[in-house]
């Protein structure tokens, strides 16, 4: 039983002195629009645990885009630290003008490409490329910032919250200073009252004792 009381006391003390809980950054998705005029924007700044999605809207005839990142610098885009979106088309579906089956009419057709920066791809700068099917190469950058939430210490005991007028400032300060005095006075009055009651009780007992002796 005594050990349980000690453990409970330690838990209560730790709860008092622990800093406030910090909420993690909620994951967001940042969109980069792939246009015929370039990447919009071509430089993105996000937080760790966010993701970036590239959306191809370039409807130029016979033009596709390919978002790649060479993380290991080997000139290829098939490593675990690389990106390769494959060919991105402006739309996927049936061709109403012809009966031919094109690449953008198959299940492999993609209009978007997403990278999530929360594991292999973490904090840092990522310089990637947008390779067009006509050989044009566009450059882009993703900057991933560290998600830092400094722990906030709880307000000190006796802190005052809210807005107070200057005129009431002096009275509020005086009231806060007088409150400890009132508490001390109350304790003193209780102590005096207890002492007086004890003295009166002793007097009553002595008198009863004297009366009992006289009766014998």
Domain boundary, last residue among 145, 170, 205: 145
Q: Is residue 2 part of a domain?
A: no
7: pLDDT strictly greater than 90? no
| Same-domain check for residues 140 and 167 | no
Say yes or no to pLDDT of 199 above 80.
no
Is 10 inside a domain boundary? no
Range(s) of the domain holding residue 179 = 159-216
Residue pLDDT, tens place only, 60-95: 999 999 999 999 999 999 999 999 999 999 999 755
Q: Which residue has the higher pLDDT, 92 or 105?
A: 92
Residue 3 inside a domain? The answer is no
Judgement on whether residues 163 and 139 belong to the same structural domain of the protein: no
In a domain, 23, yes or no: no
Reported pTM: 0.56
The fraction of the chain above a pLDDT of 70, given in percent, is 62
Please count the structural domains in the chain: 2
Residues 6 or more apart whose Cβ sits within 8 Å of residue 77: 68, 69, 70, 83, 84
For position 202, what pLDDT does the model report? 76
Given 145, 180, 205, the domain boundary residue is 145
What is the structure's pLDDT at 119? 83
């Amino acid at each position: 039983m005594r050990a349980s009381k000690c453990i409970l006391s330690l838990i209560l003390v730790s709860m008092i002195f622990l800093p406030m809980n910090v909420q993690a950054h909620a994951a967001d998705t940042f969109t980069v629009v792939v246009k015929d005029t370039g990447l919009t924007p071509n430089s993105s700044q996000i937080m760790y645990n966010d993701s970036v999605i590239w959306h191809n809207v370039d409807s130029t005839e016979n033009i596709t885009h390919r978002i790649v990142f060479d993380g290991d610098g080997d000139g290829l885009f098939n490593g675990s630290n690389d990106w390769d979106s494959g060919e991105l088309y402006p739309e996927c579906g049936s061709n109403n003008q012809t009966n031919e089956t094109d690449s953008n009419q198959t299940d492999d057709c993609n209009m978007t490409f997403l990278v999530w920066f929360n594991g292999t791809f973490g904090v840092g700068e990522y310089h990637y490329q947008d390779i067009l099917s006509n050989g044009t190469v566009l450059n882009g950058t993703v900057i991933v910032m560290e998600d830092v939430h400094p722990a906030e210490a709880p307000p000190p005991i006796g802190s005052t919250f809210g807005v107070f007028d200057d005129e009431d400032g002096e009275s509020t300060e005086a009231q806060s200073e007088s409150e400890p005095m009132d508490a001390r006075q109350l304790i003193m009055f209780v102590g005096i009252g207890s002492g007086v009651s004890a003295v009166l009780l002793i007097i009553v007992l002595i008198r009863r004792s004297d009366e009992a002796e006289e009766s014998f």
